[in-house]
Amino acid sequence: MRILLVEDDKVVGSLVKNLLEKSNFKVDIALTGLEGIEKGFKQSYDCIVLDLGLPDVDGLEICQKLRANNVNTPIIILSSYDATNIKVSGLDIGADDYLTKPFDNLELKARIEALIRRYKSQKTQEIFEYGELEINVVSRKFFVDGNEVELTNNEFDIIHFFLKNPERIISIDELASSIWGNGFDKQTNYINVYMSYIRKKIRSHTDINYIKTIRKRGFELNNK
Protein backbone atom coordinates (compact mmCIF):
# COMPACT_ATOMS: atom_id res chain seq x y z
CA MET A 1 0.00 0.00 0.00
CA ARG A 2 1.18 3.49 -0.80
CA ILE A 3 0.95 6.64 1.31
CA LEU A 4 1.48 10.28 0.36
CA LEU A 5 2.87 12.32 3.27
CA VAL A 6 2.62 16.09 2.77
CA GLU A 7 4.85 17.51 5.50
CA ASP A 8 7.43 20.30 5.43
CA ASP A 9 9.04 19.38 8.77
CA LYS A 10 11.77 16.96 7.72
CA VAL A 11 12.14 15.52 11.23
CA VAL A 12 8.43 14.72 11.54
CA GLY A 13 8.38 13.49 7.95
CA SER A 14 11.26 11.10 8.60
CA LEU A 15 9.64 9.76 11.77
CA VAL A 16 6.30 9.11 10.07
CA LYS A 17 7.98 7.60 7.00
CA ASN A 18 10.03 5.19 9.12
CA LEU A 19 6.97 4.24 11.19
CA LEU A 20 4.87 3.40 8.14
CA GLU A 21 7.62 1.65 6.21
CA LYS A 22 8.08 -0.73 9.15
CA SER A 23 4.44 -1.71 8.52
CA ASN A 24 5.20 -2.38 4.83
CA PHE A 25 3.73 0.86 3.47
CA LYS A 26 5.47 2.66 0.63
CA VAL A 27 5.74 6.36 1.50
CA ASP A 28 6.19 9.33 -0.85
CA ILE A 29 7.00 12.65 0.84
CA ALA A 30 5.99 16.08 -0.48
CA LEU A 31 7.76 18.94 1.30
CA THR A 32 5.50 21.68 -0.09
CA GLY A 33 1.81 22.09 -0.76
CA LEU A 34 2.29 22.44 -4.51
CA GLU A 35 4.28 19.22 -4.62
CA GLY A 36 1.54 17.53 -2.61
CA ILE A 37 -1.15 18.69 -5.03
CA GLU A 38 0.89 17.53 -8.03
CA LYS A 39 1.55 14.08 -6.56
CA GLY A 40 -2.06 13.74 -5.41
CA PHE A 41 -3.32 14.46 -8.93
CA LYS A 42 -0.85 12.30 -10.84
CA GLN A 43 -0.58 9.18 -8.70
CA SER A 44 -2.91 6.79 -6.94
CA TYR A 45 -2.50 6.45 -3.17
CA ASP A 46 -4.20 4.39 -0.48
CA CYS A 47 -4.10 7.32 1.97
CA ILE A 48 -2.83 10.91 2.16
CA VAL A 49 -1.39 12.25 5.43
CA LEU A 50 -1.63 16.02 5.24
CA ASP A 51 -0.04 18.74 7.36
CA LEU A 52 -1.80 22.11 7.54
CA GLY A 53 1.05 24.53 8.29
CA LEU A 54 2.85 24.33 4.96
CA PRO A 55 5.09 27.13 3.64
CA ASP A 56 3.28 27.78 0.36
CA VAL A 57 -0.25 26.39 0.16
CA ASP A 58 -2.47 25.88 3.21
CA GLY A 59 -3.30 22.23 3.90
CA LEU A 60 -7.02 22.96 3.93
CA GLU A 61 -6.73 24.40 0.42
CA ILE A 62 -4.86 21.28 -0.72
CA CYS A 63 -7.62 19.06 0.63
CA GLN A 64 -10.24 21.22 -1.07
CA LYS A 65 -8.43 21.12 -4.43
CA LEU A 66 -8.02 17.34 -4.32
CA ARG A 67 -11.69 16.78 -3.55
CA ALA A 68 -12.78 19.30 -6.18
CA ASN A 69 -10.85 17.27 -8.76
CA ASN A 70 -12.45 13.96 -7.75
CA VAL A 71 -9.48 12.61 -5.82
CA ASN A 72 -11.31 10.38 -3.35
CA THR A 73 -8.27 8.98 -1.56
CA PRO A 74 -8.71 8.94 2.25
CA ILE A 75 -7.11 12.01 3.83
CA ILE A 76 -6.00 12.30 7.44
CA ILE A 77 -4.91 15.74 8.61
CA LEU A 78 -1.90 15.71 10.92
CA SER A 79 -1.46 19.14 12.48
CA SER A 80 -0.43 21.07 15.57
CA TYR A 81 -3.62 23.16 15.23
CA ASP A 82 -6.05 21.75 17.78
CA ALA A 83 -8.77 24.41 17.68
CA THR A 84 -12.21 22.92 17.17
CA ASN A 85 -13.08 25.26 14.30
CA ILE A 86 -9.97 24.18 12.38
CA LYS A 87 -10.81 20.51 12.87
CA VAL A 88 -14.39 21.07 11.77
CA SER A 89 -13.24 23.02 8.70
CA GLY A 90 -10.91 20.21 7.67
CA LEU A 91 -13.62 17.57 7.97
CA ASP A 92 -16.20 19.78 6.24
CA ILE A 93 -14.06 20.22 3.11
CA GLY A 94 -13.41 16.52 2.71
CA ALA A 95 -10.79 15.21 5.15
CA ASP A 96 -11.67 11.83 6.63
CA ASP A 97 -9.85 12.20 9.95
CA TYR A 98 -7.85 14.70 12.02
CA LEU A 99 -5.01 13.97 14.45
CA THR A 100 -3.16 16.64 16.39
CA LYS A 101 0.58 16.83 17.01
CA PRO A 102 2.24 15.49 19.07
CA PHE A 103 0.66 12.18 18.22
CA ASP A 104 1.04 8.58 19.32
CA ASN A 105 2.73 6.48 16.63
CA LEU A 106 0.47 3.48 17.11
CA GLU A 107 -2.64 5.64 16.99
CA LEU A 108 -1.56 7.24 13.70
CA LYS A 109 -0.85 3.83 12.18
CA ALA A 110 -4.20 2.45 13.42
CA ARG A 111 -6.15 5.40 12.05
CA ILE A 112 -4.50 5.15 8.63
CA GLU A 113 -5.21 1.42 8.44
CA ALA A 114 -8.83 1.97 9.52
CA LEU A 115 -9.35 4.62 6.83
CA ILE A 116 -7.90 2.37 4.15
CA ARG A 117 -10.09 -0.57 5.21
CA ARG A 118 -13.20 1.61 5.18
CA TYR A 119 -12.36 3.10 1.79
CA LYS A 120 -11.68 -0.26 0.18
CA SER A 121 -14.90 -1.72 1.58
CA GLN A 122 -16.85 1.14 -0.03
CA LYS A 123 -15.37 0.61 -3.49
CA THR A 124 -17.73 -0.84 -6.02
CA GLN A 125 -16.67 -3.07 -8.86
CA GLU A 126 -15.79 -0.07 -10.96
CA ILE A 127 -12.32 -0.61 -9.52
CA PHE A 128 -10.32 -3.83 -9.82
CA GLU A 129 -6.99 -4.42 -8.07
CA TYR A 130 -4.35 -7.11 -8.14
CA GLY A 131 -0.96 -6.63 -6.50
CA GLU A 132 0.39 -3.29 -7.73
CA LEU A 133 -2.18 -3.11 -10.56
CA GLU A 134 -5.37 -1.06 -10.32
CA ILE A 135 -7.93 -0.21 -12.98
CA ASN A 136 -10.87 2.18 -12.80
CA VAL A 137 -13.49 1.14 -15.32
CA VAL A 138 -15.49 4.38 -15.10
CA SER A 139 -12.60 6.81 -15.57
CA ARG A 140 -10.76 4.27 -17.79
CA LYS A 141 -7.51 4.80 -15.92
CA PHE A 142 -4.89 2.16 -15.20
CA PHE A 143 -2.23 2.37 -12.48
CA VAL A 144 0.89 0.35 -11.72
CA ASP A 145 2.29 0.90 -8.22
CA GLY A 146 0.37 4.18 -8.06
CA ASN A 147 1.64 5.47 -11.40
CA GLU A 148 -0.88 6.12 -14.16
CA VAL A 149 -0.09 4.18 -17.34
CA GLU A 150 -1.45 5.31 -20.69
CA LEU A 151 -3.21 2.53 -22.62
CA THR A 152 -4.97 2.32 -25.94
CA ASN A 153 -8.64 1.30 -25.83
CA ASN A 154 -7.85 -2.31 -26.77
CA GLU A 155 -5.00 -2.53 -24.26
CA PHE A 156 -7.33 -1.19 -21.56
CA ASP A 157 -10.01 -3.76 -22.37
CA ILE A 158 -7.46 -6.57 -22.31
CA ILE A 159 -5.97 -5.67 -18.92
CA HIS A 160 -9.49 -5.10 -17.57
CA PHE A 161 -10.39 -8.66 -18.56
CA PHE A 162 -7.29 -10.04 -16.84
CA LEU A 163 -7.97 -8.07 -13.65
CA LYS A 164 -11.49 -9.52 -13.57
CA ASN A 165 -9.98 -13.00 -13.91
CA PRO A 166 -6.72 -13.08 -11.91
CA GLU A 167 -4.76 -16.30 -11.43
CA ARG A 168 -6.77 -18.09 -14.12
CA ILE A 169 -5.38 -19.30 -17.44
CA ILE A 170 -7.11 -17.46 -20.28
CA SER A 171 -6.89 -18.91 -23.77
CA ILE A 172 -6.35 -16.74 -26.84
CA ASP A 173 -9.82 -17.80 -28.08
CA GLU A 174 -11.50 -16.68 -24.84
CA LEU A 175 -9.60 -13.40 -24.73
CA ALA A 176 -10.30 -12.61 -28.39
CA SER A 177 -14.01 -13.42 -28.09
CA SER A 178 -14.36 -11.29 -24.96
CA ILE A 179 -12.63 -8.24 -26.45
CA TRP A 180 -13.56 -8.36 -30.14
CA GLY A 181 -16.41 -10.85 -30.42
CA ASN A 182 -16.65 -14.09 -32.32
CA GLY A 183 -15.82 -12.48 -35.66
CA PHE A 184 -12.19 -11.82 -34.71
CA ASP A 185 -9.56 -13.68 -36.76
CA LYS A 186 -7.79 -15.66 -34.04
CA GLN A 187 -5.07 -16.79 -36.43
CA THR A 188 -3.51 -13.33 -36.53
CA ASN A 189 -0.68 -12.26 -34.23
CA TYR A 190 -2.57 -9.23 -32.91
CA ILE A 191 -3.07 -10.58 -29.40
CA ASN A 192 0.59 -11.47 -28.92
CA VAL A 193 1.53 -7.98 -30.11
CA TYR A 194 -0.90 -6.39 -27.66
CA MET A 195 0.38 -8.57 -24.83
CA SER A 196 3.93 -7.48 -25.61
CA TYR A 197 2.93 -3.79 -25.46
CA ILE A 198 1.02 -4.23 -22.19
CA ARG A 199 3.89 -6.14 -20.56
CA LYS A 200 6.39 -3.41 -21.47
CA LYS A 201 4.14 -0.70 -20.03
CA ILE A 202 3.65 -2.60 -16.78
CA ARG A 203 7.34 -3.49 -16.44
CA SER A 204 8.31 0.16 -16.79
CA HIS A 205 6.91 0.63 -13.25
CA THR A 206 7.59 -2.72 -11.55
CA ASP A 207 10.01 -5.63 -11.59
CA ILE A 208 7.18 -8.16 -11.35
CA ASN A 209 6.20 -10.06 -14.48
CA TYR A 210 2.42 -9.98 -13.99
CA ILE A 211 1.26 -11.49 -17.29
CA LYS A 212 2.70 -14.92 -17.88
CA THR A 213 2.54 -17.00 -21.06
CA ILE A 214 1.36 -20.53 -20.38
CA ARG A 215 2.71 -22.69 -23.19
CA LYS A 216 -0.01 -23.95 -25.56
CA ARG A 217 -2.73 -22.79 -23.16
CA GLY A 218 -2.79 -18.97 -23.12
CA PHE A 219 -1.97 -16.29 -20.55
CA GLU A 220 -2.33 -15.82 -16.82
CA LEU A 221 -2.32 -12.75 -14.56
CA ASN A 222 -0.23 -13.85 -11.60
CA ASN A 223 2.32 -12.12 -9.37
CA LYS A 224 3.83 -15.31 -7.94
pLDDT category of residue 127 using cuts at 50, 70 and 90: confident
pLDDT category of residue 15 using cuts at 50, 70 and 90: very high
Which of 92, 122, 152 is a domain's end point?
A: 122
Domain check: are 99 and 141 in the same one? no
- Nearest Cα residue to 37 out of 65, 68, 1: 65
Domain check: are 9 and 99 in the same one? yes
Domain check: are 134 and 71 in the same one? no
Which of 70, 90, 122 is a domain's end point?
A: 122
pLDDT category of residue 45 using cuts at 50, 70 and 90: very high
More confident of the two residues 125 and 186 = 125
Domain extent, residue 6, equals 2-122
The predicted-structure confidence for 134-173, as pLDDT tens digits, reads as follows 999 888 899 999 999 999 888 999 999 999 999 999 998 8
Domain at 144, CATH number: 1.10.10.10
Which of 122, 143, 164 is a domain's end point?
A: 122
- Contact assessment for residue 26 and residue 37, using Cβ atoms and an 8 Å cutoff: no
Half-sphere exposure of 122 (CA within 13 A, CB side): 9
Per the structure, how many domains does the chain have? 2
Distance (Å, whole) CA 53 – CA 172: 55
pLDDT category of residue 187 using cuts at 50, 70 and 90: low
Domain check: are 111 and 138 in the same one? no
* Cα 41 from chain centre: 11
Domain at 78, CATH number: 3.40.50.2300
